[in-house]
Chain A
Amino acid sequence: MNSYEAAITRVHHEEWARVVASLAKRFGDLDIAEEAAAEAFATAVERWPETGVPPNPGAWLTTTANRKAIDRLRRETKRDDKHKEAQMRYEEPPEPLGAIDDERLRLIFTCCHPALAMETRVALTLRMVAGLTVPEIARAFLVQETAMGQRITRAKAKIKAANIPYRVPSAEDLPTRVSGVLAVLFLVFNEGYLASSADTDPVRQELTAEAIRLTRLIRTLLPADGEVAGLLALMLLTEARRTARVSATGELVSLDEQDRGSWDTTLIAEGHQLVRERLAARVRPGRYQILAAINAVHTSARDARDTDWSQVVALYDQLRVLDPSPIVALNHAIAMAELDGPDVALAAIDRLEPRLAAYHPYHAARADLLRRLGRSQESRTAYDKAIALTANTAETAYLTRRRSQLS
């Protein structure tokens, strides 16, 4: 990559959301905003190698994109009726300010509107806010490019037709709407951390990095929100272990077998700081804050044997009150195995079977407990079920090796 390509890539990363957001605000149309922003970046790719990178690339791109959008609207006006031009000349209507006035945040909240399906919110956020291409998003979520393109097009059409407002919700709506935004960012992060496809890398750093970047953005705008801080801490403490998580041979490395020396201490320090900050706030923690605290316990132990399991179990107890889902119950039982033994944990896990029969971590956890109890034959069957249900290559390799080690 030459220096101009590197500069454009960096500027794209840093400025895409800002350019799209400022155009969306001016023209009130996500389609126009996105296409004009894309054209402006294309122009930059052509021009900058000759003219050099402008001193303020973000401003250059916004100006260029604005011009492209106006050109496009003019062309359409000539073809169609006069109403587009009227719309262009129309003074920007005074908008009531939301709880926070930030264009990028408005864009995120528009893309994560509760009237859009969750999968659509994720796709639209990746496209409009993170600037991922449609083929990239399609690959991330295992769907055909045309299907993903249609989904994004339909979402933009619904935003336009139903008049989904381009604004940050009012203060009273913010807590409920933020939770949807955080859920989208957590999905993006998880897809990066454990890719669900056999056709991609087992860990997709571009997705985890993007989720962290966007969560940081939300945090700068909502610094007092405990769940935003909690999700950021959770992502940082998880990301800190990313490189230790897959071996040189492409096999998943479980938490107790990871080389803790290769964990990212800077990310861990920042994550711990956020968790301490939330503890000091003395406000009842939400789901992400509790998950972050669990990860803080894990990342505090220099050796897996030093893990404070009673703390982990206590945190899962707290989480189960907030989120009585079978997945939380499963993780609670896995932690219990370290405290009360595999037989107690297995009894707890077996009770979850009707609800988790299709969830591969259920079978993987069960296989591990059966192995520890010396019930090899049953363990092998459970490993087989887990392997059949996962597509992640690193996880398949790990489970296959564990199965082969059974007596």
Chain B
Amino acid sequence: MQYLVSVIDDTPNSATDAEMVAIDAFNDGLIADGHWVFAGGLAAPDSATVIDNTGAAPIFTDGPFVESKEYLAGFWVMEAPDLDVALKLAAAGSKACNRRVEVRPFL
């Protein structure tokens, strides 16, 4: 099954060169072992726009849908047979990007 591993951050600084090297190595490992699905880094929350088209006309609002000190800075989608494997991968991912991560299963 697939797991979303969200990278949690509280500063808009992007990854350092050393972190980028570690992330690349980690990603190579995911690909080699068949866990890789997709991954990406995200721009800071202040670049977000919320769209609400549930009414008559779409409404565009500047900013993220939830204001919080911590936000989603990037993510991996990983293929893993169970949570134990996903947790192990996520722990290695947290080490590589030097940030906290959250693991959630896809439905």
Contacts and interface: CB of A to CB of B under 8 A. Distances in A.
A115 B3 CA distance: 14
Interface stretch (A74-82, A160-168, A274-282, A372-380): A160-168
Contacts of B87: 114-115
A167 to B, nearest CB: 8
Interface residues of B, number: 11
A192 interface: no
A156 to B, nearest CB: 14
A169 B83 CA distance: 12
A169 B105 CA distance: 20
Interface string A23-67: 000000000000000000000000000000000000000000000
B70 interface: no
Interface in A113-151: 113-115
Interface of A: 113-115, 161-165, 169, 173
B107 A165 contact: no
A292 to B, nearest CB: 31
Nearest to B106: A161
A173 B83 CA distance: 14
B35 to A, nearest CB: 14
Contacts of B86: 162
A165 B83 CA distance: 7
Contacts of B81: 163, 165
B84 interface: yes
Contact of A165 (B82, B103, B105): B82
B107 A164 contact: no
Contacts of B1: 163
Nearest to A173: B84
Given A162-B83, A163-B105, A164-B82, 11 more contacts: A113-B83, A114-B87, A115-B87, A161-B107, A162-B86, A163-B1, A163-B83, A165-B81, A165-B83, A165-B84, A169-B84
Contacts of A113: 83
A47 B103 CA distance: 47
Interface centre among A163, A164, A169 (most CB of B within 10 A): A163
